[in-house]
Structure 1
Amino acid sequence: MRLGIDKVAWTLLCYARIASHGLTDEQKEFQKVAFDFAANEMAPHMAEWDQKEIFPVETMRKAAQLGFGGIYVQPDVGGSGLSRLDTSVIFEALSTGCVSTTAYISIHNMCAWMIDTFGNNEQREKYCPDLCAMEKFASYCLTEPGSGSDAASLLTTAQCNGDHYILNGSKAFISGGGDTDVYVVMCRTGGKGPKGISCLVVEKGTPGLSFGKKEQKVGWNSQPTRAVIFEDCAVPVSNRLGEEGQGFNIAMKGLNGGRINIASCSLGAAHASLLLAREHLLVRKQFGETLSNNQYLQFRLAEMATKLVASRLMVREAAKALQEGRSDAVSLCSMAKLFATDECFSVSYNNNRIFSLNKDTSYLYSMCTDLQPGSSNVWWLWLP
């Protein structure tokens, strides 16, 4: 006997859709706000943003009015002061509207958190309020033409000259590059290796700071990507986060949360893709009946819903571990990033392959989550 979709895949699909399972009432409330914002302010414009390469500044500022510009930044400088789990819930919901834009918002949040966490009070008060309101936007500058995964080998130098550092070098594939206002830059102030790296905040308009041409990408076009170039760029010593030599540690701590953030974006892509698949199954007819009665498609949908739910559980557990400062947090963040981005890309890609969902571009965006922040292949190095 063939079981209908309500008996087989429907149960799993509904569970996959009920992303609020296990959340507190407060978490459910801001999750709903994020879902509504994604549906009303992002999804209707996603295709246009991508096709016309629009960086949706005003839409992101509307998101900031809801508290999404500094989600895990402390409230005394304008942040929302929420947890890593709260943040994951929000980014998954926002990504159902536009993965590319949400991924940039997640990078912006990471930069704001780095300044909030490692900056002194003067730096926090100078930068964080505008970043949390998204009156100014931030970019994370670690990757270089010759040092991607091997970040500790970066070559951009910062030589101290009185009360300024003189920066020379370049950063590659910087999200928001050229359009953003604040650049959190890892540079070499000392010898070789991670202990020679420091972290500087560089403002747009600083003499010696310039940008390459906008990169041509397959999707992911609502966030511009450019090289960031430093040519005798003088940056005040007072713009250094932490002490000299602490930059690599600061960068890695930022990326721990970045892995959870980008994995959450992949959840949103798969979530949106499954919603489209459900609609398609219920209305598309072949051989005299709707596709929802096709047993093969029931099983495939059940498989994809299972992948989404498993990914979500893994990401949320890693988010809790990071928030609690557990010793296994780095490994769990790496595992969650590896698993969720791979499995959620599989969901989005197979939905398109099986159902020919011409409205679904989530597989293009999910493809990019494998590379941010850093290639998934490299995260194996952080596993036990």
Structure 2
Amino acid sequence: MQRTIFEPEHEQFRDSVRKFMLAEVAPHADRWRKAGIIDRETFLKAGEQGFLCVFADEKYGGAGIDDLRFDQIIIEENMRNGDLGFYIHLHSDLVAPYIHELGNDEQKDRFMPGIVSGETILAVAMTEPSTGSDLAGMKSKAVDKGDHWLLNGTKTYISNGILSDLVVVAARTDPDRPHGISLFLVERGMEGFERGRKLEKMGLKSQDTAELFFNDVKVPKANLLGEAGQGFKYLAQMLAQERLIAAICFMGTAQTAFDLTLDYVKERRAFGKPIGAFQNTRFKMAQMRAELDMAQTFVDQCVMLLNEKRLTTEDASAAKLLSSELEGRVMDQCVQFHGGAGYMEEYRISRMYTDARISRIYGGTSEIMLEIIGRGLGLDDRKLG
């Protein structure tokens, strides 16, 4: 189905992004998967092309374009023609907005130029070994020592954990309040900030995921992001965009898997004819096509709502829920149509299948998304119980 949210300038931009992904990302994908990490120079090359933080002010090197459709195009083209392990969306669309929106002028002047150029790679550290989605159970803490904050704690499953130069770290600063959390900007090289092991994962082999340790890290007062004790509110404000970005990723990979499989079923033969000629194949491909079009339309509408500052938490959660669940179904069916080849890692569909399993977990599990949507309906056990 033809998508209607893009203007001619968006399509011109898509062409340039596609060329970049095919030239600078795709050729390295196999090597990155074996190494378990991408080349940090790829961020620098993306920065040179203006593909990092297009929303950033021109004085920081950005384009100053507050239109998520451009970011959506970058993500989609990376999913289709680049490598999913190149976490450009985490850097540009999930972490950088914290600094751009919450940072004071001094912080933005200090960090945003490097973020836009790709010299300063970003990560965000919320998840802890024993908490997962339960941010209220966070145990990392920062104590006000007058001229600095003393940060202690452990974070895990941190994307860009090895590559990152600047990490937005959430830590408890008020032990008497469940939501008494603050955000800190922790820089590479700060004494007491250590990287743990690079974690081995089921999928996303080229994306570096690590444990982070903070042992009596002296964080300057100038590196407090926003107001002390308001971190939980800030995290909640950013979650709608985070979940929409995730939905854009999931739709991009699901659409790619469908396209790969459509080509495959036209070529693979069984019983003397292409398997695409069988009614079962035809009907299941048609069903996927219809569901993908429907979900893509919803995600596109959410992008426009975010541009208008009208995207609700419930709608973003619905986009994340529906796209991740659909992605899982599509990947499973596409592997099935590939037959034995679909189980072989040399085939892209096999790698995409394992990459996609995390989609229903990170950024809030499907169960958490259902809880948020249900509470939005007024079905809250805290109120109805």
> Which residue of 329, 333, 344 maps to 1:346?
329
- Report Cα offsets for 1:129-155 as digits up to 9, x if no partner: 101111110110111112211112211
Amino acid at match of 1:378: I
2:380 alignment partner in structure 1: none
> Which residue of 169, 173, 179 maps to 2:157?
173
- Kindly indicate whether the alpha-carbon contact (under 8 Å) linking 2:265 and 2:337 is maintained by their aligned counterparts in 1: no
- Kindly indicate whether the alpha-carbon contact (under 8 Å) linking 1:43 and 1:96 is maintained by their aligned counterparts in 2: no
Query: Could you tell me how far apart the structure 2 residues matched to 1:28 and 1:71 are?
Result: 16
2:356 alignment partner in structure 1: 366
Query: Could you tell me how far apart the structure 2 residues matched to 1:193 and 1:321 are?
Result: 33
Please list, as runs of the form range in 1=range in 2, the aligned pairs for 1:90-109 lying within 5 A after superposition: 90-98=74-82, 100-102=84-86, 104-109=87-92
Query: Could you tell me how far apart the structure 2 residues matched to 1:193 and 1:47 are?
Result: 47
1:238 counterpart = 2:238: no
Amino acid at match of 1:96: R
After TM superposition, the score normalised by the length of structure 1 is 0.89
Please list, as runs of the form range in 1=range in 2, the aligned pairs for 1:116-265 lying within 5 A after superposition: 116-193=100-177, 195-265=179-249
- Kindly indicate whether the alpha-carbon contact (under 8 Å) linking 1:172 and 1:226 is maintained by their aligned counterparts in 2: yes
> Which residue of 367, 373, 376 maps to 2:366?
376
Amino acid at match of 2:27: P
SS in 2 for 1:49: helix
- Report Cα offsets for 1:330-349 as digits up to 9, x if no partner: 11110000000110221122
After TM superposition, the score normalised by the length of structure 2 is 0.89
Amino acid at match of 1:235: V
Distance 1:380 1:111, change over 3 A: same
> What number of residue pairs does the alignment pair up?
365
Give the superposition deviation at 1:272. Answer: 1.6
Distance 1:249 1:68, change over 3 A: farther
SS in 1 for 2:257: helix
* More divergent stretch after superposition (367-376 vs 169-178): 367-376
SS in 2 for 1:231: strand
Distance 1:177 1:200, change over 3 A: same
Distance 1:99 1:207, change over 3 A: same
Distance 1:122 1:78, change over 3 A: same
Amino acid at match of 2:192: G
- Kindly indicate whether the alpha-carbon contact (under 8 Å) linking 2:22 and 2:82 is maintained by their aligned counterparts in 1: no
1:4 alignment partner in structure 2: none
Query: Could you tell me how far apart the structure 2 residues matched to 1:143 and 1:107 are?
Result: 15
SS in 2 for 1:190: coil
Give the superposition deviation at 1:273. Answer: 1.1
SS in 2 for 1:101: coil
Distance 1:349 1:192, change over 3 A: farther
Amino acid at match of 1:366: A
* More divergent stretch after superposition (65-74 vs 296-305): 65-74
Distance 1:145 1:220, change over 3 A: same
> Which residue of 251, 264, 278 maps to 1:294?
278
- Kindly indicate whether the alpha-carbon contact (under 8 Å) linking 1:322 and 1:330 is maintained by their aligned counterparts in 2: no
* More divergent stretch after superposition (147-156 vs 63-72): 63-72
- Kindly indicate whether the alpha-carbon contact (under 8 Å) linking 1:91 and 1:265 is maintained by their aligned counterparts in 2: yes
- Kindly indicate whether the alpha-carbon contact (under 8 Å) linking 1:72 and 1:82 is maintained by their aligned counterparts in 2: yes
Amino acid at match of 2:303: A
Give the superposition deviation at 1:302. Answer: 1.1
Using the aligned pairs only, state the percent identity.
29
Query: Could you tell me how far apart the structure 2 residues matched to 1:367 and 1:302 are?
Result: 23
- Report Cα offsets for 1:283-328 as digits up to 9, x if no partner: 22222222232221111111112222222112122222222222x5
Give the superposition deviation at 1:21. Answer: 4.0
Query: Could you tell me how far apart the structure 2 residues matched to 1:278 and 1:365 are?
Result: 20
Amino acid at match of 2:204: W
2:379 alignment partner in structure 1: none
* Structure 2 unpaired stretches of 5+: 377-385
Query: Could you tell me how far apart the structure 2 residues matched to 1:163 and 1:186 are?
Result: 19
Amino acid at match of 1:359: R
* More divergent stretch after superposition (338-347 vs 88-97): 88-97
1:30 counterpart = 2:13: yes
- Kindly indicate whether the alpha-carbon contact (under 8 Å) linking 1:266 and 1:345 is maintained by their aligned counterparts in 2: no
Query: Could you tell me how far apart the structure 2 residues matched to 1:71 and 1:345 are?
Result: 30
Query: Could you tell me how far apart the structure 2 residues matched to 1:218 and 1:266 are?
Result: 17
- Kindly indicate whether the alpha-carbon contact (under 8 Å) linking 1:56 and 1:222 is maintained by their aligned counterparts in 2: no
1:66 alignment partner in structure 2: 49
